[in-house]
Structure 1
Amino acid sequence: MSSPVIRLGLRDWDHLVPLASGQVTAPGFTLRVDARDTTPDVLAEPELDGGETSFSRYVQARAAGDDRLVGIPAFVMRGFRHRCVLVRSGSPLTQLSELDGKRVGLTGWPDSGNTWTRALLRAEGVGIGSVDWRVGPLTAGESGKDRLGSRPLPPNVSVLDEGRSLQEELAAGRLDAVLTPFMPSELFTRDSRFRHLLADHADAERAYFGRHGFVPGIHLVTLRREVAEAHPDLPGVLLAALEQSKRRWVRRRRVLADTTPWLLRELTESALLFGDDWMPYGVQDNTAMIHAFCDELRAQDVCREPIDPAALFPDPALAAPAVPASAFAADH
């Protein structure tokens, strides 16, 4: 009897390559990974059994009683946000606290990454209500993204006019800064009109980890509820497969480190700071991060319903990935 086929829509993160290529399997199931350029809407695509989902939108849905998706605490997109604040190259601004009272653009109001970035501003004394926020696409022509969510926006949040983009508004001086999870292509050129607000964002991020002990989670993997209920062992099996894929990716990356000039140095520094795993999966190792994020959604009024973090991942099999000893073997 053939095993059930589970189709997942995921962006092509490199740590998912072992899973997508079949090097890592999920016992009892056949996983098919649909590589996506953008985050899929799992509920809007009936051919998908699950996929990559915004952490913010997942939490908001569960808080509102919508349990059509079952979250897997595998945060396939996570990262520090200090690097995500851009200003003009000639801007006098150099600190997060200096954004108080400024005009700041961002790529989506309820987005997970932007929620974490606004949390950094709040920690520096910049209130959500003390910024003139403008929501819009980073570059002209972007479409197909829900930037506003389903709730009324605060009075100090407005939407860019059709045809305008955050990067051009910033370049023209109509914005003082932009919050974006992805960088405009010209940032990687010598004559870029933009720079990071924080000259040494890596140093600020190391300090953040020292205070909080986690790297913020942005996206997680979800399954349709009917799929999870039809296969009760699938969530735990999928969590373990994602963990094994990540571990194999880490091992292979340390061997094949010549993909960028200084990757080996980055890998060494990361291991010294974070230990063997800077992006742990499972509820146990993400409890502090999950609670902090839920607190921010409430504090920023992105989510108005009470949030019970314990209700987000109630399946005991999701406490920690059940990884076989073979997954820790050396790989050359």
Structure 2
Amino acid sequence: MKFMPMPASTTPVSITIATRDWDYLTPLVLGDVTSSRLSVKVDRVATLIPDLCTDPNYDAAEVSFSRYVSAMASGRDTVVGIPCFIMRGFRHRCIITVSDSPLVRLSDLAGKRIGVTGWRDSGNTWTRAALRREGVGVEDAYWFAGRLTSEHPVADRLDGFGRPGRIEAAPGERPMMELLAQGELDAVFTPFMPDGFFGPASGFRQVLRDFRAAERAYFADVGYVPGMHLVAVKAVLAREHPWLPQELARLIDESQRVWTGKRRKYADTSPWILEELLHAGRDLPASWNASGLPANRRMIEDFVTELHAQGILTEPISAEALFPFDARSRATAA
């Protein structure tokens, strides 16, 4: 990944970024990864901030890929997205059901009642994409959007995309895990497993018993790990310091590189984390989480295609239009 040259300066630019509590940012938080041009304070937040542009506390933030694409497609360019995907993950593992369910394949979900934590959420968009690859489109199931558990707030999770008889709010705003346990839903999409899921008697499981095999096959076909959240900075800041977006991406990438090295060395924090690290190191290329437009072009274009196919995006938008700073900086460097 090439980066724009930065002007000489004696005082680094200071910014504050809001992100989820991703462990691989630890080297950046602790100051093990630094820049002579950019000083970054990481503020860990429980949920994504609603609007980076108008938030007085932050200069940059982790933002929803889906909502960023929708904003850019509508001409709202008050923030500059960086193709640095701070949250990535396969989604086959995110479809859960009850332990004694007969559902064992994604194609089994045709005609079923499926709960989602938010209709336009990036992760749920990717999960529906996985179903669509198996012949189950939006029109082939019944969808209910709602809160995962009673600890989650009641909120509008349809976001204007509801359709009676096809995409509706969860009945009575009841928690979806309750609806699933009582047989009123057949499956639930969730980005994070609910409390108790990891216990031996949770009563729930992934629909795909061997989701790792499905995800490996998916990667072999598409060549990427889906991105859900990306890093963005306020447009006014990017215009004032054109080098800043890519320098921020460099710091985040370096933090993840340093963290991965330490994680592999100090693997005894979990009995079998070494096995997971071995799988990731051997089954995926070293560039699986690389930042930049060239490394992520196919993933970006596939995501836009899905947003359009699922009715979330009215018209497609190009990768260059989504990430103009990255595209311009590479043209300048060339």
TM-score (norm 1): 0.92
Look up the equivalent residue of 2:220 and give its one-letter code. G
Q: Paired residue for 1:57, among 67, 83, 86?
A: 67
Q: Measure how far apart 1:144 and its partner are.
A: 7.8
Q: Paired residue for 2:33, among 13, 16, 24?
A: 24
Q: Paired residue for 2:190, among 180, 190, 195?
A: 180
Q: Paired residue for 1:199, among 194, 198, 209?
A: 209
* Aligned equivalent of 1:120: 130
Question: Is 1:233 aligned with 2:233?
Answer: no
Question: Is 1:246 aligned with 2:259?
Answer: no
Write out per-residue CA displacement over residues 50-98 of structure 1, whole angstroms, 9 at most, x where no aligned residue: 1100001001110111111100111110000000001111111111111
RMSD of the alignment, in Å? 1.9
Question: Is 1:3 aligned with 2:12?
Answer: yes
TM-score (norm 2): 0.91
Look up the equivalent residue of 1:185 and give its one-letter code. D
Alignment partners' CA distance in 2, 1:319 and 1:76: 21
Question: Is 1:278 aligned with 2:288?
Answer: yes
* Aligned equivalent of 2:102: 92
Alignment partners' CA distance in 2, 1:273 and 1:154: 41
Q: After alignment, is 268-277 or 281-290 more displaced?
A: 268-277
Secondary structure in structure 1 of the residue aligned to 2:267: coil
* Aligned equivalent of 2:44: 35
* Pairs aligned (count): 320
Q: Measure how far apart 1:162 and its partner are.
A: 4.8
Q: Do the aligned residues in 2 keep the contact of 1:282 with 1:318 (CA within 8 Å)?
A: no
* Aligned equivalent of 2:168: 158
Q: Do the aligned residues in 2 keep the contact of 1:55 with 1:220 (CA within 8 Å)?
A: yes
Alignment partners' CA distance in 1, 2:237 and 2:296: 25
Percentage of identical aligned residues? 46
Q: Do the aligned residues in 1 keep the contact of 2:305 with 2:316 (CA within 8 Å)?
A: no
Secondary structure in structure 2 of the residue aligned to 1:66: coil
Q: Paired residue for 1:14, among 16, 20, 23?
A: 23
Write out per-residue CA displacement over residues 185-226 of structure 1, whole angstroms, 9 at most, x where no aligned residue: 121111112110000000100110111111000100100111
Alignment partners' CA distance in 2, 1:318 and 1:154: 42
Q: Do the aligned residues in 2 keep the contact of 1:141 with 1:163 (CA within 8 Å)?
A: no
Alignment partners' CA distance in 1, 2:250 and 2:269: 27
Look up the equivalent residue of 2:38 and give its one-letter code. F
Look up the equivalent residue of 2:128 and give its one-letter code. R
* Aligned equivalent of 1:109: 119
Give runs of ≥4 in structure 1 deviating > 4 Å: 317-320
Look up the equivalent residue of 1:280 and give its one-letter code. A
Alignment partners' CA distance in 2, 1:172 and 1:161: 13
> What residue ranges of structure 2 are gaps of 5+ in the alignment?
1-9
* Aligned equivalent of 2:324: 314
